[in-house]
Structure 1
Amino acid sequence: MKPLTIDSATLMGSHELATPQQRKRESRLQAILETAQLVFRRDGYAAFTLRHVAAEAGVQLGTLQHYFPSRELLLRTMIVQTIRSYNEDYDRIARSEAPVERRMQAIIEQVLREVQDESDRTFLLEMSALACHEHFAAEALVESHRQYLGMWGRLIGEMNPGLNADERRMRALLIAAQLEGLMPFLQVGTPGAVPDSKALAHAVRVVAISLSSA
């Protein structure tokens, strides 16, 4: 399961945890959100209810509703926090001091680990399905893609400074599409559809570097 780092300022309206009560509140919020993420990954959005999350978290339904009065608010908060943790991992690699090609390779390997992990893959597919029906999930997905494609665009610009902004965006989209497009094949377990991890990482890297440098 993706670890969550709770944004205290967002959830609590404060930049400091000044009192034991605030620290207790943040700890409970984090536990609820981590449980919500677990339920979403395991059971999907169709089975996601406040009552179900409360039972899994070991808290009274009324306690959970004190923090998250609606299913939508809990889903939105959990999805935004989880997406943020994915993008922060990628951005940390992208902004390191390693050569640009090595950074690209490291991000590709990170994304491939996630799409090949059943829990991560299920979360991403469920979130995409939810975005087809719920506006708040669609907004979160659009913002995630904006950040993710922007990161790839910056890396492509480093590798190939002669490309204009439109070219960088298009190539970033193609790289992202080949990575995310693997998920349906992996989810249904099509025999022989996907090679071993090392061969897959090499093939994706070849395509990404070619798209970036051409």
Structure 2
Amino acid sequence: MARPSGSDATVTGPRVREAAQRLFARHGYAAVSMRMIAAEVGIGAGALYHYTPDKQTLLFEMMQAHLNGVLDGWSAVDTGPNALAQLEAFARFHVRYHLDRPDAVFIAYMELRSLDPENFARIEQLRRRYEAVPEAILKLGHQSGQMHVPDVKLTAMALIAMLTGVTTWYRDGGRLDRAAVEANYADMALGMVRAQGPSLKTA
């Protein structure tokens, strides 16, 4: 089916995804209709189907893009020479990356229940790949004696939950700027494994 006259898929397609993301984050996936998304973009409801087959595809593709983005972003990070440096680098990266994308983060965690089984399985595979990153760092740190981590998987999940939680409360212009928040969360991550962070002060 041809696109509407005068449309540009490279412009309107991303606008459709951005509008859907805003609406899903604001109202929840179940409450958002394709007609609402079309109105947000400023196109007719029928024209929306030139850019996506359905709402489920929009949800899956935005979750997939978020997780691929975080995996690609981490792969470009200079992780440092040992497990402690890697843990600090991971914590800083996770906070920095997620602070820039609060709507995507909210949807990635809160709308998993809205995925159909096939899409859920594909997203879970990507999530497990990312969760394996801190698990590997913690395992290395425990084995090398740099960290005390009795349960690697549990600690990794707690770490990710703590770091991701920053998106629920942080607002630009508050008491702490992003650099300070990033540094404090890195110190807390190191503290979870009983390691002294470089910016922590002793009494």
TM-score, normalised by the number of residues in structure 2: 0.64
Could you tell me which of 88, 93, 96 is aligned with 1:105? 88
- Pairs aligned (count): 172
Q: Which runs of 5+ in 1 are unaligned?
A: 1-23, 188-195
1:80 aligns with 2:64: yes
Where does 1:72-151 land on structure 2 (aligned, <5 Å)? 72-93=56-77, 96=78, 98-100=80-82, 101-113=84-96, 117=99, 120-136=101-117, 138-139=120-121, 141-151=123-133
The residue aligned with 2:192 is 207
- CA offset digits 1:86-116 (Å, max 9, x no partner): 23222322xx36334334213212333466x
**Offset, 1:169:** 4.0
Whether the aligned pair in 1 keeps the contact of 2:63 and 2:107 (CA below 8 Å) is no
TM-score, normalised by the number of residues in structure 1: 0.61
**Offset, 1:33:** 1.8
1:39 aligns with 2:20: no
Bigger helix share? 1
**Offset, 1:65:** 0.7
**Offset, 1:145:** 2.4
3-state DSSP class of the match of 1:67? coil
Give the distance between the partners of 1:53 and 1:133, measured in 2 at CA: 17
Whether the aligned pair in 2 keeps the contact of 1:114 and 1:121 (CA below 8 Å) is no
Where does 1:61-72 land on structure 2 (aligned, <5 Å)? 61-72=45-56
Whether the aligned pair in 1 keeps the contact of 2:135 and 2:153 (CA below 8 Å) is yes
3-state DSSP class of the match of 1:30? helix
Whether the aligned pair in 1 keeps the contact of 2:112 and 2:120 (CA below 8 Å) is yes
Root-mean-square deviation (CA), in Å? 3.5
Higher relative contact order (CA 8 A, sep 6+): 2
Could you tell me which of 131, 137, 141 is aligned with 1:155? 137
3-state DSSP class of the match of 2:125? helix
Give the distance between the partners of 2:113 and 2:105, measured in 1 at CA: 13
Q: Which runs of 5+ in 2 are unaligned?
A: 1-7, 146-150, 171-179, 196-203
Task: Give the direction of change, closer, same or farther, for the CA distance of 1:121–1:109 in structure 2 (3 Å limit).
Answer: same
